[in-house]
């Protein structure tokens, strides 16, 4: 509680321990509230990102479709399509992609960055290369980017 009292003094904002934060973050102005499902598979940015990321490794047919509303359901569906080492690579790429979308969203919300597919894809590719160097064998099979 001591932190909350200091925050009240510094900011003039009264925070209460048992009251949830009512501020709703949005990546794009719209009338739809952002939740994790919307952020990862529902919004246009996410669908474009997934399509282009998966296109770069030749599996764009696995990108989320307009009908996808659940990240988990989409992931389970595409995971069943591939097997072996490719499945490991796909799982790594999906984790990496979700992390990239989340980091890019935070950059937009907290630093005023403009949503940019090209920037997000470059970040994902750089991270995938680092994962490959670190020994992520599955992702190396998928990410032979020029």
Side-chain-side CA neighbours of residue 113 (13 Å) = 13
Query: Is residue 100 a contact partner of residue 123, using CB atoms and an 8 Å limit?
Result: yes
Q: Could you report the per-residue pLDDT of 59-83, keeping only the tens digit for each? A: 999 999 999 889 999 999 999 998 8
CA 33 from chain centre, in angstroms, equals 16
Q: Could you report the per-residue pLDDT of 101-110, keeping only the tens digit for each? A: 999 999 998 9
Report which of 53, 26, 51 is spatially closest to residue 115, judged by C-alpha positions. Answer: 26
Q: Could you report the per-residue pLDDT of 5-58, keeping only the tens digit for each? A: 554 555 555 555 665 554 444 444 554 566 899 999 999 999 999 999 999 999
- How far apart, in whole angstroms, are the C-alpha atoms of residue 52 and residue 146? 15
pTM, two decimal places = 0.75
């Amino acid at each position: 509680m001591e932190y909350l009292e200091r925050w009240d003094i510094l900011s003039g904002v009264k925070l209460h321990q048992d009251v949830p934060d009512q501020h709703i973050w949005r990546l794009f102005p719209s009338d739809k509230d952002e939740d994790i499902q919307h952020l990862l598979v529902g919004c246009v940015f996410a669908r474009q990102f997934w399509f282009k990321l998966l296109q770069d490794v030749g599996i764009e047919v696995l990108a989320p479709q307009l009908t996808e509303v659940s990240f988990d359901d989409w992931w389970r569906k595409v995971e069943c399509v591939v097997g072996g080492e490719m499945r490991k690579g796909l799982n790594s790429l999906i984790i990496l992609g979700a992390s990239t979308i989340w980091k890019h969203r935070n950059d937009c919300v907290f630093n005023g960055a403009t949503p940019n597919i090209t920037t997000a894809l470059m970040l994902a590719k750089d991270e995938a290369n680092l994962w490959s160097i670190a020994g992520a064998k599955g992702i190396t099979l998928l990410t032979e980017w020029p």
